[in-house]
Structure 1
Amino acid sequence: MRRRTFLATAATALGVSLAGCAQPAASLYVSTADEDDELAERTSRQVTNQTAPVVHELATSGSVTIPEDEWRPDTTRVTEHEGRYYTFSDEVVDVERRKSYTAELDLNPPNTEGQSVELSALPEPDRELVGELLELRDVTQTGDGPEIGGSRVYSVAEEEQSELVPEPAYEFVVVDDETYGLSIGDSEYTQFRTYRYTAEEVAGSTAEYAGQIRDEYLFTLSGLSNGERDLFETAIEEQSVFQEDEATEAFRSLADEIHAHKAFELTEDRASGWYSGQWVLEYEGAVYWVTVDHNDWDGE
């Protein structure tokens, strides 16, 4: 299955206001991670339907070559496949110049006089181009002129097969008895990369992988003040605690204690005063997966 090289935009999208959705000053999320499978699931990537074939090939053969418009595995986390755990790395092995073509759809054309074609009659690359545009119909308001625009990268072979690029043979496309205006705009060259992926097995079982995570990241949270203890135990009971306007002193000191230890993942910006990270910790004999989002951090 191909991951199409495509960018689509709705010119008149339904308005969805995000105003007023301010982030809280600080958040603490806590969930149990005592069991091997709980911890392994939190810290590894699960294979999707799209990436399953290439992940299976990587796990079997150790390497595979993949063009950029096909589904590629994640290289940022360990991936679980059939009970074993792998890391993937990639390198560019080829760079090719290809053309990217823009296209627009008019959902309510003023007239439909001209050459038209059923979507199903178009070659596969053209069906993909139009199909991706049509996926935005439900979130787009009709107006004057083309409402949806996008672009797709075509290989030389796909260009030769196409009936839409470089010069379209049709002005309209018919889908489920609905006729839409279709126009093809400018093209530009872009770099198309091919990658070689390699796999390394890091653990042969869930228990082995969870043990590795504990060895590297687990620490004991202890010596808390009454305020810190109340805060953390509330987060355990309710799975989360939010500080809306300003982080309390108890939250700041608790977050500082957690932040001082090695995080499984951590993103921070000292200049802007925020960080977000995940930790594995033990508290009173139980293991927890903890996420801290701190937007009121002093950067220390």
Structure 2
Amino acid sequence: MYRRQVLATGTALLSVSLAGCGHPAVVLDFEAATTETIADSVSTAPEPGSEAYEVVASARDNGSATRSGRSALFDHVDAARVDGRVYEVSETQVGSGEVTVYTVTVEAAGDDATDGLREVAYEDLPETDRERLRPILSGDDPPDPDTAVGIDYGTAAEVGNDSAFVPDQRYDAVVRDGERYRVEVDSRTATEREYRYEVTEVAPDVEAFADRVRDRYLFALSGLSDAERAVVEEAIEGAYFEDDEAFRSVIDRIRDRDGVDVHDSYGTWLLAYEGTDYLAYAEW
């Protein structure tokens, strides 16, 4: 299903070329609305041990929780599924300050390209560096010789005291399996914000939560013309991409109703069409 996704950033920030990647100007896409897809459309299910999971669990157990970070955890959803229950999450910024953020850039180098540089074997690096470099220097998928890969190390406090690169760079090159890699460390100033979290249980399980969403948003899409029906049928079979009169007419009908997630030029609605419930995603 076509939908805009917010990708959680991991340790490595890989440079990816998107040149020539086309995208239709308009989209209408229908997906069967199950309990799981409905819950996924309006909530998040953080993995146990993740920062989001720990924040929700702490706020649930202690009345509130705080964290510092350079971005919000729940800026696109306000509900989280933790330990089988569903909680509405309040995320409030209560302060901010400036911090130094480090990026370590790795680039493949020739055998003699690191002569005179401070070299270190990958195996001799501290665990915090090996963990961050492992996805980049793995033997299965080594970096392209013509591409430098940036790894977001975060702040010195986030890294800890044993890194060989942050905040003080002790080596200029890493050797692994006979391959040499240049290493550069850059820093920048970023805003770190302090957030306070409070949670309220809104459903004892996912099924009850999905029912709440259905009660709030589900509507019937009916009374369509033949041309409008053709648009919807194609959206059910795959997706509809034509910016024509029938598409606009269907979009107008849908946008007249409250959506589960609506923005200026795209959104998701929960609707029933000929006896089946769908999540309808649209861009216009």
For this structure pair, what is the TM-score category when the shorter chain's length is used for normalisation?
A: 0.7 to 0.9
Match of 2:270 in 1: 280
Distance 1:58 1:225, change over 3 A: same
Q: Is 1:121 the counterpart of 2:117 in the alignment? A: no
What is the TM-score of this pair, normalised by structure 1? Answer: 0.71
Match of 2:254 in 1: 258
1:42-61 matches, within 5 Å, as: 42-48=41-47, 50=50, 51-61=52-62
Distance 1:292 1:190 in 2: 35
Q: Is 1:141 the counterpart of 2:144 in the alignment? A: yes
Distance 1:180 1:242, change over 3 A: closer
Distance 2:255 2:32 in 1: 19
Match of 1:190 in 2: 190
Q: Is 1:293 the counterpart of 2:273 in the alignment? A: no
How far 1:56 moved relative to its partner? 3.6
Match of 1:18 in 2: 20
Distance 2:211 2:114 in 1: 67
1:96-175 matches, within 5 Å, as: 96-109=97-110, 110-127=113-130, 130-131=133-134, 134=137, 138=141, 140-143=143-146, 147-149=148-150, 152-155=153-156, 161-175=162-176
Match of 2:203 in 1: 203
Paired residues of 1:93 and 1:196 also in contact (CA < 8 A): yes
Distance 1:262 1:181 in 2: 53
Distance 2:14 2:208 in 1: 45
Q: Is 1:227 the counterpart of 2:217 in the alignment? A: no
Look up the SS of the partner of 2:200 in the other structure: strand
Paired residues of 2:122 and 2:176 also in contact (CA < 8 A): yes
Match of 1:88 in 2: 89
Q: Identity percentage over the alignment? A: 28
Distance 1:96 1:132 in 2: 31
Distance 1:257 1:59 in 2: 40
How far 1:160 moved relative to its partner? 5.5
Letter in 2 for 1:82: D
Look up the SS of the partner of 1:250 in the other structure: helix
Unaligned runs of 5+ in 1: 269-274, 295-300
User: Which protein has the larger Cα radius of gyration, Structure 1 or Structure 2?
Assistant: 1
Paired residues of 2:101 and 2:156 also in contact (CA < 8 A): no
Distance 1:83 1:158 in 2: 32
Paired residues of 2:104 and 2:183 also in contact (CA < 8 A): yes
Distance 1:166 1:234 in 2: 55
Runs (4 or more) in structure 1 with deviation over 6 Å come to 3-7
- The C-alpha deviation readout for 1:119-147, integer Å capped at 9, x for no partner, is 34334554466557647x9585325xx93
Letter in 1 for 2:20: L
Distance 2:67 2:247 in 1: 47
- The C-alpha deviation readout for 1:163-215, integer Å capped at 9, x for no partner, is 43554332322223333233445x44433333332212112233432232122
Match of 2:38 in 1: 39
Q: Is 1:65 the counterpart of 2:72 in the alignment? A: no
Letter in 1 for 2:251: A
What is the TM-score of this pair, normalised by structure 2? Answer: 0.75
How far 1:225 moved relative to its partner? 1.8
How far 1:107 moved relative to its partner? 1.5
- The C-alpha deviation readout for 1:249-282, integer Å capped at 9, x for no partner, is 22221221111111111122xxxxxx22211122
Look up the SS of the partner of 2:229 in the other structure: helix
Distance 1:158 1:206 in 2: 36
